[in-house]
């Protein structure tokens, strides 16, 4: 990559790093890794809070009209691949919905080993539900249409 190389980072608040210090978001860390390897590469982070796939495609068109990017990174998240007739995540599609958090039970408060087992089971369940939600969203006709939009 030459001296004026830029990488374009697209996405929503997950890519922008909502709740994370700017220097700790993955695109900024990638830029630091490039520099550690002696490459003068800048990462243009063009992500916006709440953007969905059509809006992200619009940002890409605007950004790519001004500059050529040898590498574009798009931070896919579950909500980007919602079917067109749905406007929000519900039920098992929504990972946060499935993350019930700490469930108060008297036994959990009093018995550390019971609390440890219960917490471990919750983590395993959340991991399974999260994987299933992502895999289901990135397969089938809806996913095909979204991936097609990205390739245009």
Give phi and psi for 38, each to the nearest 5: 85, 15
Whether residue 123 is found in the same domain as residue 143: yes
- Domain final residue pick, 27, 49, 75: 75
Whether residue 102 is found in the same domain as residue 46: no
Whether residue 87 is found in the same domain as residue 55: no
22: CB partners within 8 A, 6+ apart: 28
Whether residue 92 is found in the same domain as residue 125: yes
Whether residue 34 is found in the same domain as residue 91: no
Q: Kindly list the averaged pLDDT for each block of 10 residues, start to end, along the chain of length 152.
A: 74 77 87 90 86 85 90 78 57 49 65 82 78 73 75 68
- 72-110 pLDDT, tens digit per residue, is 998 877 666 665 555 555 544 445 544 455 555 677 677
* 96 burial level (CB within 10 Å; 0-12, 13-18, 19+): exposed
Whether residue 119 is found in the same domain as residue 68: no
CATH no. for residue 14?
3.40.50.1110
Full residue range of the structural domain in which residue 109 is found? 82-152
Kind and range of the H or E element at 147?
A: helix 140-151
Give phi and psi for 90, each to the nearest 5: -140, 160
* 51 burial level (CB within 10 Å; 0-12, 13-18, 19+): buried
Whether residue 47 is found in the same domain as residue 70: yes
CA separation for the pair 124, 139 (Å, rounded) = 23
Task: State the pLDDT at residue 63.
Answer: 92
Task: State the pLDDT at residue 36.
Answer: 92
According to DSSP, the residues that pair with 5 across neighbouring strands are: 41
């Amino acid at each position: 990559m030459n001296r004026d190389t830029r990488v374009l980072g697209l996405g929503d608040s997950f890519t922008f790093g909502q709740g994370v210090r700017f220097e700790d978001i993955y695109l900024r860390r990638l830029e630091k890794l490039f520099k550690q390897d002696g490459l003068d590469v800048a990462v243009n982070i063009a992500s916006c809070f709440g953007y969905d796939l059509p809006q992200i495609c619009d940002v890409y068109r605007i950004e790519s009209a001004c500059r050529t990017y040898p590498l574009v990174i798009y931070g896919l998240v579950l909500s980007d691949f919602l079917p067109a007739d749905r406007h929000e995540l519900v039920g098992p599609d929504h990972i946060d919905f499935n993350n019930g958090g700490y469930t108060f039970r008297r036994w959990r408060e009093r018995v550390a080993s019971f609390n440890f087992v219960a917490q471990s089971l919750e983590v395993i369940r959340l991991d399974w539900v999260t994987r299933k939600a992502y895999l289901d969203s990135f397969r089938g006709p809806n996913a095909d249409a979204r991936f097609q939009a990205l390739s245009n």
